[in-house]
Amino acid sequence: MPVNTSFSIQSIESIHLAFKNTASYWESYRANEGDRQTDRFEFKQGWQTVYARYIETPLVKVTLSDGTIGWGEANSGIGPEIVCIIINDLLAQMINGQEFESPAALWNFQYDTQRGRGYSSGYWLDALAAIDIAVWDAIGKREQSPVAALLAPNPRTRFDVYLSGIRRSTLQERSNHVNSWIDTGLKGAKIFLTGDVSKGIDELDGLIEGSPDLEQWMVDTLWMCSPESAELGKREYGQRNVRFFECPLQPEDLTGHQILVNKPGAPIALGEHFRTRYQMESWVQEPRALDVYQPDIGRTGFSDYMIQMQIASQYGIPTTPHMGSGVSVFQAATLQCAAVASKDYLQEFQGGLSDRLDKASDTGWKYADGGFVLPDRPGIGVEINESLLEPFIVRK
């Protein structure tokens, strides 16, 4: 029997959360190496991207016309207040009280409102993703079904994960940290390296030696390689059986990635910088620019994620969702998508971020034995206690 995915939004609200009294995203990794910090931001030596000193995020609450509440979150760690403004001051006026036949229809409507003005990426799309997640959460609760079961007929009930980042000060501490996770059943880990491949090889070799029981290693250089160093890294990391080499070149460099994919070595993985099907298709069609597709659910939402995964599959490319910074809502949405993704790869997991909401968030996603079991809860599997959000709300 077809599931009813039609709905009308009674109200929508987004709030800016910040977790100032917790560890930074990077924790102690590569600290005091010439970092530059402001009140909110930091730059790490060797990488161009700015990072938040502490986790910040936009949380979205949607109430459907029948009173069902859903929660969403975008992966917008820098400037989450922009997403809040877009939702509260702009999109709410456009969608409150309107009938939509499905979340995908709502996403398309919101995308169309600004596509002629060139708002085809960035914060506008982040807002759409957060709303889409919240609406699917509400529909799942209304229909008494996990979102994964609404997205696909036979979602995986269990899957394994890899640890994203080993954020400790020294190589020995990083090896010890990995080994402590191996004791829990963890099978893989991803390390963040710069474009200096010689140093990266030394780091990887040291970790392999210090944590010999880990089955899979992934490498992410955060877009910082030159064409020459990327080719060297691909070959060297491939010789060390790295499962994939993530984000080697600048995110706009389609041609460079197309060339790199055909060089010998580790498979190339990327996709977190795309928001829509319109951006990603040229990267997966021939001549393809990647081997593993990594959409970020906090930027795609559920609706366009499913379309993007289908497009990638048509070209024989497996999908495994990217998981960046965010709290329990964003993580739960990502894990719901992992339940319907390719079985070829471990799912990324940001250990330590999901508990930032502490008692304000009750999640059904519990890490154990190296992975997760799909919760027997409707929606995305998370409940928010609004009365306990106040300490984290940023008010202007």
Q: How many CB atoms lie within 10 A of CB 118?
A: 9
Domain 150-380: CATH class, spelled out: alpha beta
Per-residue pLDDT of the chain (396 residues; tens, 9 = 90+): 678 999 999 999 999 999 988 777 788 888 877 789 999 999 999 999 999 999 999 999 999 999 999 999 999 999 999 999 999 999 999 999 999 999 999 999 999 999 999 999 999 999 999 999 999 999 999 999 999 999 999 999 999 999 999 999 999 999 999 999 999 999 999 999 999 999 999 999 999 999 999 999 999 999 999 999 999 999 999 999 999 999 999 999 999 999 999 999 999 999 999 999 999 999 999 999 999 999 999 999 999 999 999 999 999 999 999 999 889 999 999 999 999 999 999 999 998 776 788 789 999 999 999 999 999 999 999 999 999 999 999 997
DSSP 358: G
3-state secondary structure of 176: helix
Cα–Cα distance list, 365 to 20, 24, 38, 328, 377 (Å): 24, 23, 34, 9, 10
- Kindly report the pTM of this predicted structure: 0.97
- Identical topology for domains 7-147 and 150-380: no
3-class DSSP string for 203-240: HHHHHHHHCCCCCEEEEECCCCCCHHHHHHHHHHHHHC
Q: Which residues in the chain belong to E strands, given as ranges?
A: 7-18, 36-37, 41-43, 50-52, 56-64, 69-73, 99-100, 158-164, 188-192, 216-220, 245-246, 268-270, 292-293, 347-349, 361-363, 371-373, 382-384
Domain boundaries, the chain: 7-147, 150-380
Is the domain 7-147 a CATH 3.30.390.10 member? yes
- Residue 33 is predicted with a pLDDT of 78
Residue 353 near residue 55, CB atoms below 8 Å? yes
